[in-house]
Amino acid sequence: MNPLQVAPHTLARSLGDWQGDGPLHRALASGLRVLILDGRVPLAARLPSERALAQALGLSRTTVAGAYDTLRADGYAVSRRGSGTVAALPGPSLSLPSVPGTEGLIDLSRASPPAASAVPEAVRGAAEDLPRFLRDSGYDGTGLPHLRAVIAAHYTDRGLPTAPAEVLVTLGAQHAIHLLTHVQLNPGDRALIESPTYPHALDALRSARARVVPVPVSAEDGWDTDVALEALRRSRAALAYLMPDFHNPTGASMPADARERLIAAAEQSGTVLLADETTALLDLGTAPEQNPTVPEAAGPQSAQAPASSPTGVLPPPLGAGVRGGARTVVHIGSAGKLFWGGLRVGWIRAERGLIDRLVSARSAFDLGTPVVEQLATARLLEALAQVRAERGELLRAGEQTLRRLAAVHLPDWELPPVAGGISVWARLPQPGSSALALAAHARGLLVPAGPRFGPDGSAFERKIRLPFTSSPKELEAAVPLLAEAWGQARGGGRPPRNPRRIPDTVV
Ligand SMILES: Cc1ncc(COP(=O)(O)O)c(C=O)c1O
């Protein structure tokens, strides 16, 4: 990810009255150190060049260079090739490593917001809870009873009565998908998947050697229910992987009648529906409140309508209140987008028999979920309403910025409306998504091409996923680069001779 750039005049304003006794460069270093310690200059943000800051402050460049030297010597700044001087804190390097090949790039391949503000406090609370667990081995292949109870209560509150024994805590939703596909599928089994879909679910199905049956979902019209039911009937798929609320990448949500028909059809064909809710609770809070499956609360339905406002009632999970729902649907949840990807906690809600089989199978893959992260996740789930309200604000700001910038720089791209989720599935005026991703990469911007989201690699050349989980500042840097890249890609410009391999993790 590209470092944030601190503007020289902003920094000069933040410094205020910084001069004191003693040499100027020391006083300046001391003022800058206070801003870094206060968080007013974010860690890893790029400081202005010596010349630019000297100009903004009316100083000589030597004074600024001396101040930067002092900051570096004290550990409050580091110099990075290609990034200039960036703010730091003394001590061992505490940053996340970059994925190889992404160093210095603006990264739109990870549609995942930074940690919710409640995370540090939840982790501190978890550390206080920890002594009660230290006499045990710490290997936990099912999930702490407390967290399983909190997750069970979460589903019960949303209209799907659940016991703690019907919950398995995992290492994130991807781990849950991997476990479920390997336990539920035999090589050669058919598996229904939405097209487009979340790419690593497709990877998991392929690694379980399933035969994939795609069913279309569009950002504009959602699911074609008749086509999906027909595909179920004909394929008698063993499993269907779905994102019924704020589908990644389109943002679409499945209307109530489609849910009911799908569950009835799945019961008939003996198909287990995996409902991935990783993005389900991330609504923007910009559409009228509604509830897609609980009849008393039914409101207007549309493919994009959100299930609730971020501060309001939680949306019912797929199958809640529907006959056979609890049996036919297995739910996957995650702390990843809701709280923070760095927690690496997810879960599966399923009938007890399946949970037991998953627990038995799990030890071939991993030996359990870390205790501290589970304790923190339990605390965060208990503060869900507050976290969702904050998430709604962040996502709204990102979405509005994205639309504003696209209208200026990419006026002929169509960005369908979304009511929640993490991204807009944009429509290009002509095919060229793969060429666009290559041209963007050559300009320092990582964005996965549309075909990465399709079960059939050749589709979606007219689509590109634009995440609104990035900060407005990052989007302001990214969208003009995207427009430049599109200028080259649409003109059929020659792709770079030796393109670097584009990293392939898409979240
Ligand atoms: C729909 C969907 N499912 C699962 C995952 C993986 O989530 P986790 O980080 O919990 O493994 C993601 C992450 O991007 C996702 O978008």
The overall longest dimension of the chain from CA atoms, in Å, is: 82
Handedness of CA 184, 189, 195, 201 (dihedral sign): positive
> Which pLDDT value is given to residue 39?
80
Q: Cite the DSSP H helix spans in 213-299.
A: 225-235, 256-269
- Residue in 431, 437, 480, 469 with CA at minimum distance from that of residue 248: 469
> Which pLDDT value is given to residue 264?
94
**Paired residues of 425 in beta bridges:** 465
Tokens of 249: 């990448």
The crossing angle, in degrees rounded to 10, of helices 256-269 and 225-235 is 10
301 confidence band (pLDDT: 50, 70, 90): very low
- Residue in 480, 496, 468 with CA at minimum distance from that of residue 394: 468
Atom of ligand 1 nearest to the CA of 198: 1
458 confidence band (pLDDT: 50, 70, 90): low
Task: Among 151, 168, 169, 174, say which to mutate for ligand 1: greatest number of ligand atoms within 8 Å of CB.
Answer: 174
Atom of ligand 1 nearest to the CA of 112: 14
Span 265-286, average pLDDT: 94
**Paired residues of 215 in beta bridges:** 194
Span 435-440, average pLDDT: 94
> Which pLDDT value is given to residue 473?
87
Tokens of 16: 């205020």
- Find the 174 Cα to ligand 1 centroid distance in Å: 6
Span 12-19, average pLDDT: 91
Task: Among 175, 334, 339, 345, say which to mutate for ligand 1: greatest number of ligand atoms within 8 Å of CB.
Answer: 334
- Find the 403 Cα to ligand 1 centroid distance in Å: 24
Atom of ligand 1 nearest to the CA of 346: 10
Atom of ligand 1 nearest to the CA of 176: 11
> Which pLDDT value is given to residue 139?
96
Minimal-distance CA residue to ligand 1 atom 16 = 507
Minimal-distance CA residue to ligand 1 atom 3 = 278
> Which pLDDT value is given to residue 99?
66
With a cut of 60, say whether residue 1 has pLDDT above it. no
DSSP three-state, residue 394: helix
With a cut of 90, say whether residue 310 has pLDDT above it. no
Q: Which residues are near ligand 1 (CB < 6 Å)?
A: 172-174, 198, 243, 248, 276, 278-279, 334, 336, 341, 346, 507
Q: How far apart are the first and last CA of the chain?
A: 14
> Which pLDDT value is given to residue 100?
65
pLDDT > 70 in the chain, percent = 89
**Rg of the chain, C-alpha, whole Å:** 25
User: Phi and psi (nearest 5°) for 333?
Assistant: -130, 170
255 confidence band (pLDDT: 50, 70, 90): very high
With a cut of 60, say whether residue 299 has pLDDT above it. no
Minimal-distance CA residue to ligand 1 atom 2 = 278
Under 8 Å between Cβ of 116 and 340: yes
> Which pLDDT value is given to residue 300?
31
- Find the 415 Cα to ligand 1 centroid distance in Å: 23
Under 8 Å between Cβ of 348 and 393: no
492 confidence band (pLDDT: 50, 70, 90): confident
Domain annotation for the chain: domains and CATH numbers: 8-87 (1.10.10.10), 96-111+173-334+383-507 (3.40.640.10)
pLDDT in tens, 185-195: 999 999 999 99
How far apart (Å, rounded) are the C-alpha atoms in residues 493 and 442?
13
Residues 92, 97, 98, 104, Cα dihedral to 10°: 0
- Residue in 342, 426, 416, 448 with CA at minimum distance from that of residue 108: 448
- Find the 278 Cα to ligand 1 centroid distance in Å: 6
Q: Cite the DSSP H helix spans in 270-362.
A: 325-328, 352-362
> Which pLDDT value is given to residue 196?
96
How far apart (Å, rounded) are the C-alpha atoms in residues 245 and 291?
11
The crossing angle, in degrees rounded to 10, of helices 24-38 and 8-15 is 90
User: Phi and psi (nearest 5°) for 110?
Assistant: -115, 100
How far apart (Å, rounded) are the C-alpha atoms in residues 457 and 448?
12
How far apart (Å, rounded) are the C-alpha atoms in residues 483 and 504?
22
440 confidence band (pLDDT: 50, 70, 90): very high
Minimal-distance CA residue to ligand 1 atom 12 = 507
Which range (76-80, 122-126, 272-276, 332-336) has the least confidence?
76-80
Mean pLDDT of the chain: 89
Minimal-distance CA residue to ligand 1 atom 9 = 336
How far apart (Å, rounded) are the C-alpha atoms in residues 224 and 119?
39
- Find the 4 Cα to ligand 1 centroid distance in Å: 26
DSSP three-state, residue 222: strand
pLDDT in tens, 351-388: 999 999 999 999 999 999 999 999 999 999 999 999 99
The crossing angle, in degrees rounded to 10, of helices 433-442 and 472-490 is 120
pLDDT in tens, 178-225: 999 999 999 999 999 999 999 999 999 999 999 999 999 999 999 999
> Which pLDDT value is given to residue 303?
38
> Which pLDDT value is given to residue 402?
97
How far apart (Å, rounded) are the C-alpha atoms in residues 334 and 162?
17
Helix (H) or strand (E) segment spanning residue 24: helix 24-38
pLDDT in tens, 130-174: 999 999 999 999 999 999 999 999 999 999 999 999 999 999 999
> Which pLDDT value is given to residue 307?
44
